[in-house]
A and B are shown apart, each in its own frame.
Chain A
Amino acid sequence: MKKHNLIGVLIISFLIAMAIKNIIANILTYKYL
């Protein structure tokens, strides 16, 4: 695996974390239905 600099690692973690956050956030919107 290629070595990433710090910013790269941060962006990747951020995007993946955001994707997981969105799954949970959307599941939790059931209360608006």
Chain B
Amino acid sequence: MITFIEKVITVIEAKYVSALGWIATFASFVIIRNILEGISSGSGSFLSQKNFEFFFLHSFTFYLASFLGLILIINLITKDHIKKTILFVLFLIPIIITPPLADLAATGGNQTLMTYRQIPPGTNNLIEMSQYFFNYILHGPNGILFFGESTSLSQVYINYGIRIEIAILIFILLLYTYVKTKSVTKLLWSFLLLQLGLFLMGHFPYIINLIFGKGSGILSRGDTIMSLLYLFVSTLFAGIIFYLYDKKKTWSVIKNFRITRTLNTTILLFIGIILGIKNVDQYVSINWELIFFILAACLSNIFCWGWGVSYNDRKDEKIDIISNTNRPLPSKTLSLEENNFTSKLFLGLSYLYGFIVGYAFFVMILIKSSLGYLYSSDFFHLKKYPILSQFVIACAYLTTIMAGFLLISGNLISDFPVKLSLSVLVLFTLGVGFKDIKDYQGDKNQNIRTLPVIFGLERGKKIIGAMGTLAFILIPLIFNQYFYLLIIPSIICAILYFYFTNKENYKELPVFMTYFLLLFL
């Protein structure tokens, strides 16, 4: 028996699936499950358009978080290479289509309910919660002492199919850990961790409600908040899984985000958010719901930037071989295919987060990524043209600010101050020229006509410095109501900017940022 199971496991582990293939297989089964669940739950509204959030976001992110968590739990116990665990868990995914099938078989097509389990009233703190968890392990529907009786703990009147699914899952996983590790303690650990994981996922919205209270928005905007939280969890788990898969590659991808630039785009987003909060007439209460949304907006924005970086890396590989040898592609840390995957993953995550945050925000992220595409892609390759390339970047910065602005509900794009948008465009067009300095050698080699390439490095630096200085001097003139507040720091920054661009470059960003923040205080 055990040798047979071992053979099956070896066959599964010998298979190959690409990361995108894993996601596609997973998604296919989730779609099948959702359709079947629509039939077995028997509510006609399930497949209606207003329930699309459940169909496309809530369920997907729920299963994603669950299965990524399962990968981590199993891997923690078996200590295998995570690649093997990932393949085994993919093999387990079809199990999610059993609950609706079991429901249909048991009821003959009558509607049955699948829902989260409620935490019993009177469970408010961690001690009471652990007591409840202990009872759940003993008498819950997959407890040690459960024999099919109907109690408040077993709740046998709901989730018929799901309970069977989980019972089968626990059985398979116990066999798997035993065959893999042959250790009794590890078997007990895996049983306990599985129960804990299933407990958390089964009670998720009620646990969130317990932790964050009514401000979490879980009661008013269930599907949206749930998908967001699951997506946070999934992102974290996926990050850990990538790290376990290949530490070196994951680090190189993370380092490639470059903290100064990431901070820059996040600060721009926050400027938009602050403007948005100021613009709304009524008082915007800072609750957990808003914090979740802002966090998701930041992640969406950062992943959009991450996509821009990896996409641009692919297009600029020849330049980076000369001027940025430490980046993942030129240093051969990532292959071209892996780079392709990370860029797709980041773009997908960015859109997904953006879409959950809100429609207007999503559109802004869409515009930003379109600009990024036109900037780097071969056909128009806007990066090649001086001034225009800086203008495109300024546009992307403006959309970032607008995205933050539109994140606060009640704001319309027509409310966005025109003066601000124009000045952002002008100032950043003048100000972002410094980015071309460090790529000078590579750009020259590939015939990309940036300012330093056209005028030579020394003169190019002076021109860029002068443009940036002009931008800094313009700031107090444009925002003349704060003239006296801004004039001194802006002159200091202008001098520093000129000094930095003409000496060693790339140190000016912190100055830049601290400065721009000042504007809105």
Residues of A at the B interface (CB closer than 8 Å) are 1-2, 4, 7-8, 11-12, 15-16, 18-23, 25-30, 32-33
- B residues in contact with A16, CB < 8 Å: 171, 174-175, 178
Residues of B at the A interface (CB closer than 8 Å) are 2, 102, 106-107, 110, 112, 141-144, 146-148, 150, 154, 156-157, 160, 163-164, 167-168, 170-171, 174-175, 178, 182, 184, 187-188, 191
- B residues in contact with A28, CB < 8 Å: 148
Partner of A22 from B2, B170, B175 at Cβ < 8 Å: B170
Question: B164, A26: Cβ atoms under 8 Å?
Answer: yes
CA distance A7 to B143 in the complex (A): 21
Question: B144, A18: Cβ atoms under 8 Å?
Answer: yes
Residue of A nearest to B165 (CB): A26
Question: A23, B168: Cβ atoms under 8 Å?
Answer: yes
B147 to chain A, nearest CB (A): 6
11 A-B residue pairs with CB within 8 Å = A1-B2, A15-B191, A18-B144, A23-B168, A25-B146, A26-B141, A27-B164, A29-B148, A29-B160, A33-B106, A33-B107
Question: A12, B164: Cβ atoms under 8 Å?
Answer: no
Secondary structure class of chain A's binding surface, majority of residues: helix
CA distance A15 to B187 in the complex (A): 9
Residue of B nearest to A9 (CB): B184
Question: A1, B182: Cβ atoms under 8 Å?
Answer: yes
CA distance A30 to B170 in the complex (A): 20
Question: A23, B175: Cβ atoms under 8 Å?
Answer: no
- B residues in contact with A15, CB < 8 Å: 174, 187-188, 191
Closest 7 CB pairs of A and B: A19-B171, A25-B148, A30-B106, A29-B156, A22-B167, A8-B184, A23-B167
Among B2, B106, B110, B112, max chain A CB count under 10 A is at: B106
CA distance A32 to B507 in the complex (A): 69
Asked, given contacts A26-B163, A32-B157, whether A19 binds B174 with beta carbons under 8 Å apart, the answer is: yes
Question: A33, B187: Cβ atoms under 8 Å?
Answer: no
Residue of A nearest to B102 (CB): A27
A26 to chain B, nearest CB (A): 4
Residue of A nearest to B168 (CB): A23
A16 to chain B, nearest CB (A): 6
B182 to chain A, nearest CB (A): 5
- B residues in contact with A1, CB < 8 Å: 2, 182
- A residues in contact with B144, CB < 8 Å: 18
Residue of A nearest to B148 (CB): A25
Question: A2, B182: Cβ atoms under 8 Å?
Answer: yes
B99 to chain A, nearest CB (A): 11
Residue of B nearest to A11 (CB): B184
B44 to chain A, nearest CB (A): 20
CA distance A32 to B142 in the complex (A): 16
Question: A22, B146: Cβ atoms under 8 Å?
Answer: yes
Question: B141, A33: Cβ atoms under 8 Å?
Answer: no
- B residues in contact with A20, CB < 8 Å: 171
- B residues in contact with A7, CB < 8 Å: 184
- B residues in contact with A30, CB < 8 Å: 106-107, 160
